[in-house]
Amino acid sequence: MPPTSSPENRTIQSVWTRPRGGRERPVLSREQIVAEALRLLDSEGIDALSMRKLGNRLSAGATSLYRHVANKDELIELAVDEIYGEIELPDAPAAPERWRADAAHCAHRLRTTMLRHPWIASVRGEMGMAHLGPNWMRLSEAMLGVFTTAGFPRDEADRAVATLIAYVTGTATSEAAWLTALARSGRSEQEWVDELWPAAEQAAQAYPRLREGYAEQRGKDPRTSREEGFQYGLDRVLDGLETRLK
């Protein structure tokens, strides 16, 4: 007869689903560990993160880290939630007449924060129970307030928030991956585009609509194009959500 799994083994593994630490006073605090992990991630990227390397940077053994996190995945959960804590929320309380402005504010702040830490693009699908982190909950609560105050029913407000976040994180994840590749190349965004442009135009010769689009974009600042593209998509998402209020 196969062994029965204990409740402990069936628990979803996440830093947010188990008790925090013990009674003894650790050499390092969780806050110190997360802060140093973020410095390492921002300077060297996700591939450079290991418990041993982080312990060396903190002049501490791995045992000190494992008092706070069971593994690297939990450390990433904490680091990601710390990033979400940087997001500036709209002024409270929410007001019905400014719901679009407040929703756009949250969207832009989330995107800006993700692009400030582009390594997040490589862990978006591996963040476990990141939605249980206090900073993500703080953002979610604020956005739910925006939509419920605007007049969305409670269940639909939740879906509206999820739709907006899906657009922002999808777009920002692609941008972050692009910016990471740029950083590795040592080129600026403009230099990369300038070098790529002749090959792109040549590849588009047999496709008139694409050729016309490339011609319109030639000479345009690529960062400006990204900003305009994000704003266009954001406006269309909000346009669609607004129809639910009529």
Q: Looking at the predicted structure, is the pLDDT value of residue 221 above 70?
A: yes
Mean pLDDT comparison of 72-76, 189-193, 215-219, 228-232, highest-scoring range: 228-232
CA atoms within 13 A on the CB side of 22: 8
Q: Percent of the chain, pLDDT > 90? A: 58
Q: List every span in the chain annotated with CATH 1.10.10.60.
A: 7-83
**Angle of helix 134-150 versus helix 154-185 axis, rounded to 10:** 130
pLDDT at 11: 58
Q: Percent of the chain, pLDDT > 70? A: 88
Alpha carbon distance 148, 94 (integer Å): 9
Fold of 7-83: Arc Repressor Mutant, subunit A (1.10.10)
Question: Which of 22-26, 59-63, 71-75 shows the lowest per-residue confidence on average (mean pLDDT)?
Answer: 22-26
Structure tokens given for 38: 């973020």
Structure tokens given for 44: 């060297």
pLDDT at 1: 45
Q: List every span in the chain annotated with CATH 1.10.357.10.
A: 87-245
pLDDT at 2: 44
Q: Looking at the predicted structure, is the pLDDT value of residue 111 above 70?
A: yes
Contact 74, 51 (CB under 8 A): no
Q: Looking at the predicted structure, is the pLDDT value of residue 129 above 90?
A: no
User: Of residues 183 and 240, which shows the higher confidence score?
Assistant: 240
pLDDT at 156: 96
Alpha carbon distance 160, 162 (integer Å): 5
Mean pLDDT rounded to a whole number for the chain: 87
State pLDDT tens for residues 189-202.
Answer: 999 989 988 999 99
pLDDT at 166: 94
Question: Which of 117-121, 124-128, 139-143 shows the lowest per-residue confidence on average (mean pLDDT)?
Answer: 124-128
Structure tokens given for 25: 């006073």
pLDDT at 95: 87
Other C-beta atoms within 10 Å of 96: how many? 11
Q: Domain 87-245: give its CATH code.
A: 1.10.357.10
